[in-house]
């Protein structure tokens, strides 16, 4: 649990020192554009060694200063640890963990599990398949140690194959790329399917108390783009993909890029055999996208044994008061929650929260 937070010249803040000792819920409210997201960003930075939305230091440091400091105290297993970051406008950033200089984020990841969910969570099923593949790839990358290397290899194959397709002069075989594409695609999808099964099970657990009608029929499935597949077995998938790759060769050559394989696949969430995005309200879309994200965090935290600190940046807009209360109630009470919103009345949904008001970078407790 994060017990103290110190900010100095971070974003639009001056100097702020806050004590959250004994408070598992921290409620942050303020009008638009006052610094609520910046506040959550500082905690995310301290937990992950980088911002979730900004890579340039100059935008993280207060406009009239050259550097900023941020720090927090976290208590874990009755021990206190201190994390500090010094962020210089010129691009350098230095982190320490218990006064030991950080060379990687490993130590942070071992002691803090800070996750951020914003109102953008609704995009999961609103955006293009690209967006969802990123969501799935990030999750699988955390869940399976070999996933990232396999994905890098796969992307390299696609890059080489696309380059060759663009420059192909005569009808020549590119099987030496396709054969590798089939192997890597199979490996990636095997891991993705395992991840989706876990996501479905965990999402259902969250959904059950709030939308009991959805529990039985909620399905998270995988779409094989352009591949007619009734069941996923190694032999079936590899043979089908090989045949399809042969069939689409001329089309791929005309287009100059590869059109089948794991890089084109997608996943979906259906309820009662109906697609979430097309047949359900934005409120339901938002709730289920939130639960899906929360399910990923839960699965990872079960794997690491480290309860997450949740930074919730107004993810419940468009959700009615009854469901909002129910959703907040479902979130694990063992996790520390920082909840930022424009609605002061949302504080009623939390048990004895620390209340923080943010007004033009000024922070007021009470």
Partner 1 sequence: MEKNPLDGLMTQLAKFPGVGQKSAQRMAFFLLSIPGKDVHAMASTMVDTRQRIRYCERCFNISFEKTCSICEDSNRDRSLLCVVSEPKDIFAIERAGQFKGNYHVLGGLISPIDGILPESLRIKELIDRLKSESPSEVIFAINPTIEGDATILYLTKILSSFDVKLSSLAYGLPVGSDMDYADELTLQKAFQGRQGL
What separation in angstroms does the CA of 69 have from each of 8, 113, 252, 350? 5, 21, 52, 30
Q: How many CB atoms lie within 10 A of CB 312?
A: 23
190 binds partner 1 (CB under 8 A): no
179 binds partner 1 (CB under 8 A): yes
Cβ atoms of 154 and 184 within 8 Å: the answer is yes
Question: Of residues 75, 94, 130, 176, which one binds partner 1 by CB under 8 A?
Answer: 176
Query: Nearer to partner 1 by C-beta: 55 or 145?
Result: 145
* Spatial separation of the C-alpha atoms in residues 21 and 318, rounded to whole Å: 32
- Site residues (CB under 8 A) for partner 1, limited to 128-147: 145-146
Q: List own/partner pairs for 320-324 with CB under 8 A and 24 or more apart.
A: 320/283, 323/210, 323/283, 323/287, 324/349
Minimum distance, C-beta of residue 156 to partner 1, in the bound complex (Å): 4
270 binds partner 1 (CB under 8 A): no
User: Can you tell me whether residue 71 is helix, strand or coil?
Assistant: strand
Minimum distance, C-beta of residue 296 to partner 1, in the bound complex (Å): 21
Residue 301: CB partners within 8 Å, gap ≥ 6? 113, 307, 308
Minimum distance, C-beta of residue 158 to partner 1, in the bound complex (Å): 10
Question: Of residues 149, 255, 342, 365, which one binds partner 1 by CB under 8 A?
Answer: 149
Q: How many CB atoms lie within 10 A of CB 128?
A: 9
Place of tokens 């094989």: 224
175 binds partner 1 (CB under 8 A): yes
Q: How many CB atoms lie within 10 A of CB 230?
A: 6
Question: Of residues 12, 48, 50, 180, which one binds partner 1 by CB under 8 A?
Answer: 180
Interface pattern 91-130 for partner 1 (x via CB under 8 A) = ----------------------------------------
* Spatial separation of the C-alpha atoms in residues 289 and 135, rounded to whole Å: 11
Minimum distance, C-beta of residue 145 to partner 1, in the bound complex (Å): 5
Question: Of residues 28, 122, 136, 157, which one binds partner 1 by CB under 8 A?
Answer: 157
Residues interacting with partner 1, by CB under 8 A? 145-146, 149-150, 153, 156-157, 159-161, 163-164, 167, 173, 175-177, 179-180
């Amino acid at each position: 649990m994060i017990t103290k937070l110190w900010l100095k010249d971070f974003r639009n803040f001056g100097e702020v020192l806050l004590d959250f000792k004994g408070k598992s819920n921290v409620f942050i409210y303020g009008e638009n554009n006052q610094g609520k997201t910046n506040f959550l960003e500082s905690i995310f930075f301290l937990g992950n060694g980088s911002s979730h939305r900004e890579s340039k230091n100059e935008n993280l440091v207060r406009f009239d200063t050259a550097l900023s400091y941020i720090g927090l105290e976290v208590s874990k297993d009755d021990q206190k640890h201190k994390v500090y970051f010094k962020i210089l406008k010129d691009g350098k950033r230095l982190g320490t963990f218990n006064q030991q200089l950080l060379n990687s984020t490993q130590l942070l990841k071992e002691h803090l599990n800070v996750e951020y969910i914003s109102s953008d969570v609704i995009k999961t099923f609103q955006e293009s398949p690209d967006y969802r593949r990123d969501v799935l790839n990030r999750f699988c990358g955390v869940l399976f140690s070999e996933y990232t290397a396999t994905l890098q290899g796969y992307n390299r194959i696609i890059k080489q194959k696309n380059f060759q397709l663009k420059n192909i002069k005569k009808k020549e075989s590119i099987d030496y790329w396709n054969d590798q594409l089939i192997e890597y695609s199979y490996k990636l999808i095997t891991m993705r399917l395992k991840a989706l099964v876990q996501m479905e099970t965990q999402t259902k657990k969250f959904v059950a108390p709030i939308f009991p009608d959805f529990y039985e029929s909620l399905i998270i499935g995988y779409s094989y783009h352009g591949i007619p597949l009734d069941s996923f077995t190694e032999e079936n998938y590899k043979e089908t993909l090989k045949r399809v790759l042969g069939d689409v060769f001329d089309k791929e050559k005309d287009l100059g890029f590869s059109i089948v394989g794991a890089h084109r696949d997608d996943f979906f969430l259906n309820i009662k055999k109906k697609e979430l995005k097309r047949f359900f309200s934005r409120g339901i879309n938002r709730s289920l996208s939130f639960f899906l994200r929360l399910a990923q965090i839960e699965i990872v935290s079960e794997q690491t044994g480290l309860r997450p600190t949740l930074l919730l940046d107004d993810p419940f807009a468009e959700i009615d008061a009854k469901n909002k209360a129910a959703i907040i109630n479902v979130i694990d009470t063992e996790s520390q929650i920082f909840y930022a919103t424009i609605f002061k009345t949302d504080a009623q949904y939390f048990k004895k929260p620390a209340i923080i008001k943010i007004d033009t970078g000024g922070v007021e407790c009470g």
